[in-house]
Structure 1
């Protein structure tokens, strides 16, 4: 049984306990004891009113929690199907939520919207900054949420594309720190591991003039190698095989940079054959085909 199904079952049990006093065995709780002083000060009718209010409030909280779980399940289903616009419309209803689980998903949906082919440049920029704001809000609401750290790192990197290379490089350490925190909170999240691999790959191929900028910004500029990037990409596959077409592509590209052509071809073929669901998957598919043609030539 999944954790989410277990939680749903527990919620149903709690509903029954609240709405039907005869369900199960009622036991005096610590909370009841703490409230006893307040209850003694209330006249009988006020006491009955208080009990009714307390019961209705509890029922409302449980149903709200159950509804939240259902919406998150629906959101994850839409994401898995690549229904980006429907997902965005669903989550937009919760843009003022204090729950990080809604907010980081909204940031992700906005980012996915920004890379759709029909999005013009100004709209793309607006969506990118909106995604960053919701990722930041998610992190503020719950610093223990691994996905909030992950999407904050991703969205901060995206914003850097509009802020200039100096800002982008300057944010790189912050991005790396949040990715490492995401992995620390959830070592089984293949996406965070993949992105950290991409971080190492990007710094390994940094042009000389960008290295000079990094030297100006940092006393000790970040360094990385293709071997380090490869370690993370392979780890992501170990955690969740074929989880992401971009990881397959990056494995192929990294092996190309390491002059290991056979391994490069193997991984690029896997990227080419991976189901293309999202717009990013389609872009990966095209790049993998182009690189395979280049290698065969």
Structure 2
């Protein structure tokens, strides 16, 4: 059964933006020094590399919107199917309610949560037969159900935001509330961006970062807190200096790694990590050496490492994910293994188009098939 797909590549885009900003900084610094003819030639090559990376970043940013839409479209269908099958009990591929799981926690990132994937700490202590409409379990279930809705998104997300605002005022030290409140800030920042309100977008992002910090201060073993903190830190790149972008990129990677340590069963985390690895593996020699001037040690990864993480995401995801299959093919293409590239492209091509992300991926699949 198809469920939701992650929007967490947002944070990854922040990492890449930080590196791109570093390259621009190096180029600008060299220009101020008054380059000689050989240096000028190097700058032209560097500028070309920067332009290429900028185009890559634009593609990543555009993909965020389509992945967000994919999330919403699949969420509604999954909840409808869960309702139909509830008489048979919870299935492994379905996200379960808090009362059913008694200690596991889920977010929209969780495609296949079950008792087998629980974190060590129990979420709450109230059993299902004692649960009342005002309990924390009921409240969290209501928030997650509202967040999964795709109808009247603006109205629904504002309702979520207000509900969480009121609840957090009464329970300011509850990690379960705080990371969801951070998530709500991210969602409303998207709406502000779509409306052209940059100042409100910025305010919501930075407020969300603060909430992420608070959630981690309360419970640094809650993987969703690491996840959403990483996303929001990545989103600050649009408003930060080059040095801050680089620092935030490192923070992002650290928290994604930590989230995986705490929950190695969430497919979206592996897809996010794989995207980071793929982008780093694709950096040119010029880009790596320019980054080294600011990083000291440039980020390292490979297509093989990216492939390993994409395959893990593929293994954990219970549905058919066209974009993930495409990215596996692109890893093989980067390693010049054209037979495997074509095999994965053909499999991706046959995967049904359900979301806007799928439609975008289909175009790229057909273009890459012409090259192998």
TM-score range, shorter chain: 0.5 to 0.7
For the residue of structure 2 that corresponds to 1:241, the secondary structure is coil
Question: In the superposition, relative to structure 1, how do residues 81 and 208 fare at CA in structure 2: closer, same or farther (>3 Å)?
Answer: farther
Structure 2 CA distance for aligned equivalents of residues 245 and 170 of structure 1: 33
Matched, 1:4 2:86: no
Q: Hey, what does 2:138 align to over in structure 1?
A: 70
Within 5 Å, which residues of 2 pair with 1:1-297? Answer: 4-5=99-100, 7=102, 11=126, 67-82=135-150, 84-85=153-154, 86-95=156-165, 96=168, 97-115=172-190, 118-120=194-196, 122=198, 123-208=200-285, 210-242=287-319, 247-259=324-336, 260=338, 261-266=341-346, 268-269=348-349, 273=353, 275-276=354-355, 282=356, 284-297=357-370
Question: In the superposition, relative to structure 1, how do residues 234 and 12 fare at CA in structure 2: closer, same or farther (>3 Å)?
Answer: closer
Structure 1 CA distance for aligned equivalents of residues 350 and 265 of structure 2: 22
User: For each residue in 1:252-292, what CA deviation from the matched residue of structure 2 results, as whole angstroms up to 9, or x when unmatched?
Assistant: 4434433433144246436762x32xxxxx2x234313213
Contact kept, 8 Å, 1:92 with 1:106, in 2: the verdict is: no
Structure 2 CA distance for aligned equivalents of residues 207 and 272 of structure 1: 34
- 1:210 Cα offset (Å): 4.4
Aligned length: 243
Contact kept, 8 Å, 1:252 with 1:267, in 2: the verdict is: no
Structure 1 CA distance for aligned equivalents of residues 141 and 358 of structure 2: 28
Contact kept, 8 Å, 2:178 with 2:215, in 1: the verdict is: yes
Structure 2 CA distance for aligned equivalents of residues 195 and 175 of structure 1: 11
Structure 2 regions of 5+ residues with no counterpart? 1-89, 91-95, 104-123
For the residue of structure 2 that corresponds to 1:234, the secondary structure is helix
Structure 1 regions of 5+ residues with no counterpart? 16-61, 277-281
Contact kept, 8 Å, 1:146 with 1:181, in 2: the verdict is: yes
Structure 2 CA distance for aligned equivalents of residues 255 and 144 of structure 1: 35
For the residue of structure 2 that corresponds to 1:93, the secondary structure is helix
- 1:14 Cα offset (Å): 8.4
Give the number of the structure with larger relative contact order, counting CA–CA contacts within 8 Å between residues 6 or more apart. Answer: 2
Question: In the superposition, relative to structure 1, how do residues 253 and 11 fare at CA in structure 2: closer, same or farther (>3 Å)?
Answer: same
Where has structure 1 moved over 6 Å in runs of 4 or more?
Answer: none
Question: In the superposition, relative to structure 1, how do residues 272 and 292 fare at CA in structure 2: closer, same or farther (>3 Å)?
Answer: farther
- What is the TM-score with the length of structure 2 in the denominator? 0.55
- 1:103 Cα offset (Å): 2.1
Question: In the superposition, relative to structure 1, how do residues 268 and 231 fare at CA in structure 2: closer, same or farther (>3 Å)?
Answer: same
Structure 1 CA distance for aligned equivalents of residues 350 and 236 of structure 2: 31
- The CA RMSD over aligned residues, in Å, is 3.3
- 1:67 Cα offset (Å): 2.2
Larger Rg belongs to? 1
User: For each residue in 1:176-198, what CA deviation from the matched residue of structure 2 results, as whole angstroms up to 9, or x when unmatched?
Assistant: 22112111111112222221112
- What is the TM-score with the length of structure 1 in the denominator? 0.68
